[in-house]
Structure 1
Amino acid sequence: MLKNGIECLVRNRNSKAIITLSSSSSRRRCIALRNLCSKTQTQKEAATSTARTVPRERAECVVIGAGVVGVAVARELALRGKQVLVLDSAPTFGTGTSSRNSEVIHAGIYYPPNSLKAILCVRGREMLYKYCYEHDIPHKQIGKLIVATRTSEIPKLIDIMNRGIQNGVDGLRMIEGSEAKRMEPELQCVKALLSPVSGIVDTHSLMLSLVGEAENHRTTFSYNTTVIGAHLEGNNICLHVSETKHLEEWNGRCLLHPELVLIPELVVNSTGLSALALAKRFDGLHSGVVPSEYYARGCYFTLSNTRISPFKHLIYPIPEDGGLGVHVTLDLDGQVKFGPDVEWIEGIDDISNFLNRMKRELCAFKCSC
């Protein structure tokens, strides 16, 4: 049991302590938190009966989820002097959508002008290139072509260019099909929008760097540790924590019992595809602040039996409902992938939600061309 594995090891003059969360009999993890060994006394009954007799500990900042967003948030908080604990149900970082994507650095073209997505994408792209350069993260600014294959698509392409310009994307240029073919001999189109600031990045190297920096600034990562829900007590969010291995044995019918209740000053829910499902299990959180979820599976097709890539740029069609359409992406080794397609999915079971294991989220096929 997790609660039996909590052991106070050090308490210094600043009331900081280190405890160990034992996620297995042979493996212990030390978690550094401020005031972690001081038990809290609540003034009113806990919102959930299962949490009444569970050990409680305080924390300063808890980030749920160790994907690329979670580790980036943890790093930033740690750099600002915060004591940070990152919880993830998997055995290591970046096992969900962060390791199942096209690794594209987007320019910020598609989003509505002045929207938060547009602002953050443009600023984030600039910051990401800077971070990769300064930390020697493998990346390449290879550029992207958004193509119109029919004359009827040209007005949409012009709209996309104007939107990108409004968003502050530099270097956008409309080119004729003949120029696009000179750039990409295997490409057939009538017009194309060139985005020279688009690129690709090695996501694992990026996450490894972020994790290392976070750990160097006293962030602690507790893997195989799952947040199964939470409840509100006044202004506090009380997180219900359990060992992942116990959840894997859950039959989905009986009541889930947390082994530890964490009471952080700040909580960041960064669990990727599980974020909305987890937020809905925060008892006392107004349902109106949790958006509706829509799940889709995307498949990528890998181009094989070729030593030299037929493409040098990212190539995208006109966007379609549910995504940016089946496009051509390259990795840093020159491997070509086509995808993703879109298949909408009805419902995800609770165990997949908790463990962030959307097994149907992504599949890959190889084709000989």
Structure 2
Amino acid sequence: MQILVIGAGVVGLSVARAAARAGHETIVAEAANAIGTGISSRNSEVIHAGMYYPTGSLRALHCVRGRRMLYEFCASHGVPHRKCGKLIVATNDAELAKIETIRRQGAINEVEGLALIDGAAARALEGELNCTGALLSPETGIIDAHAYMLALRGDLEDKGGAIAFNTPVTRAERKGAQWQVTFGGADGGVFAFDAVVNCAGLGAQGVARSMPDYPKERVPRLVLAKGNYFSYTGRPVFSRLIYPTPVDGGLGVHVTLDLAGRMRFGPDVQWIDEEDYTVDPARSASFYERIRTYWPSLRDGTLAADYCGIRPKLTGKGEPAADFLIDGPDGHGLPGLVQMFGIESPGLTSSLSLAEDVLARLS
């Protein structure tokens, strides 16, 4: 089968790798000039354990399964990563009740090793921490996202797959037994494929609307939630990821580490109407306020604007978070087409599991 994957982010590369490894002739069309220039390069690089997501949701299924697969992949492919663990902290009774709810959900989702600990035990692990209790997640980790994508690309190309850069998809329609896909760019034209998988991230809705056969009412709205990050200019004080209790639209301004041990904070949730990747330094005021609830000794002037990412959400402010939306032939009725919408966090963690799901829908 000839398969076109649209988008060379972490999910698109995972799908393409799985397709090529299954023996399919696989091409990835990427509008940019490199892999992973969008969502995949603008996140926390966290390997999530999977305790937050509702029972039976795609996010729960693929995060837990994908996380186990991802650790195995990193080990077998030499991808830099570290299972550093994390603490979800509570600073009052209401938050204690919330993290107990998260622990129960994690048990339902079959997340390994979750443990509620009191404030003294949390401070024994992280001396700078201020909390009345915490949920310890030993399976949470961090990863070099770019190295991961390079490894996925290597596997894809080893199996004969290829990536066409600077090649946007402008139209795709079903003709007979195949999809006729129109590409822009210098080497554009019309080419035929047996199957098409839309992994275009923030551009997924636009790609779907370029398919005249795909019902327009099935294209969900796209809601943009910007997440800003600030780096810490001092020496790191935490060895684990530190998360507050979740907030509307995200998991709260948390401590994340890179593989060199550097600390940064984020993301917050900033609802926006159009793509914008500037970080307003003035937002640091709210960061100081939130961070000091669990790290009161944070000094003024130690946070510097770093970078931001945009979540491709399907629901907006005050609305319940939407699940991943994967629309395959069993839903829309068009052979050889899978649309992926709203693949935000934990998309990176879930990517290998999502890839197997997509291939199953095409079989």
TM-score by length of 1: 0.74
Name 2:244's counterpart in structure 1: 317
Structure 1 residues 8-59: Cα deviation after superposition (integer angstroms, max 9, x where no partner): xxxxxxxxxxxxxxxxxxxxxxxxxxxxxxxxxxxxxxxxxxxxxxxxxxx8
Tell me if 1:298 matches 2:232: no
Is the CA contact 2:88–2:134 (under 8 Å) kept in the aligned structure 1? Answer: yes
Match of residue 74 from structure 2:
132
Indicate which of 139, 156, 164 corresponds to 1:214: 156
Structure 1 segment 18-37 matched on structure 2, within 5 A: none
Stretch of structure 1 that moved more, 191-200 or 225-234: 225-234
Q: Quick one: distance in 2 between partners of 1:314 and 1:361?
A: 24
- Which residue number corresponds to residue 276 of structure 1? 205
SS of corresponding position for 2:256: strand
Aligned to 2:336: none
Post-superposition Cα deviations, 1:50-94, rounded to whole Å, max 9, x if no partner, equal: xxxxxxxxx811111111111111111111111111111111111
SS of the residue 1:209 aligns to: helix
Give me the whole-angstrom Cα distance separating, in 2, the residues matched to 1:292 and 1:234.
30
Greater helix proportion? 2
Distance 1:88 1:363 in 2: 26
Q: CA deviation at 1:181?
A: 1.1
Asked whether the 8 Å contact 1:296–1:361 carries over to 2, the reply is no
Aligned to 2:262: 335
Q: CA deviation at 1:234?
A: 4.8
Alignment of 1:185-204 (within 5 A): 185-204=127-146
* Shift, 1:212, TM fit: 0.9
**Aligned partner of residue 194 in structure 2, secondary structure:** strand
Aligned-pair identity (%): 45
CA RMSD of aligned residues (A): 1.8
Structure scoring higher RCO (CA < 8 A, sep ≥ 6) equals 2
Unaligned runs of at least 5 residues, structure 1: 1-58, 246-257, 349-357
Q: Which has the larger radius of gyration?
A: 1
Write the distance in 2 (CA, Å) between the matches of 1:144 and 1:240: 46
The worse-fitting range, judged by mean Cα deviation, of 289-298 and 333-342 is 289-298
**Is residue 74–residue 81 contact of structure 2 (8 Å, CA) maintained in 1?**
yes
Q: Any residues of structure 2 matched to 1:226-305 within 5 Å, and which? A: 226-234=168-176, 236-243=178-185, 259-304=188-233
User: Per the alignment, do residues 90 and 164 of structure 1 end up closer, same or farther by CA in structure 2, a change over 3 Å counting?
Assistant: same
Kindly provide the amino acid, as one letter, of the partner of residue 107 in structure 1: A
Equivalent residue, structure 1, for 2:87: 145
Preserved contact between residue 106 and residue 199 of structure 1 (Cα < 8 Å): yes
Q: Which residue identity lines up with residue 105 of structure 1 in the other structure? A: I
Output the CA distance in 2 between the equivalents of 1:330 and 1:202. Answer: 11
Total equivalences in the alignment: 285
The correspondence for 1:122, drawn from 64, 75, 83, is 64
Q: TM-score scaled by structure 2?
A: 0.75
| 1:108-149 per-position Cα deviation (integer Å, ceiling 9, x unaligned) | 111001212101100000000000011111000000111111
Alpha-carbon distance, 1:362 to partner: 6.5
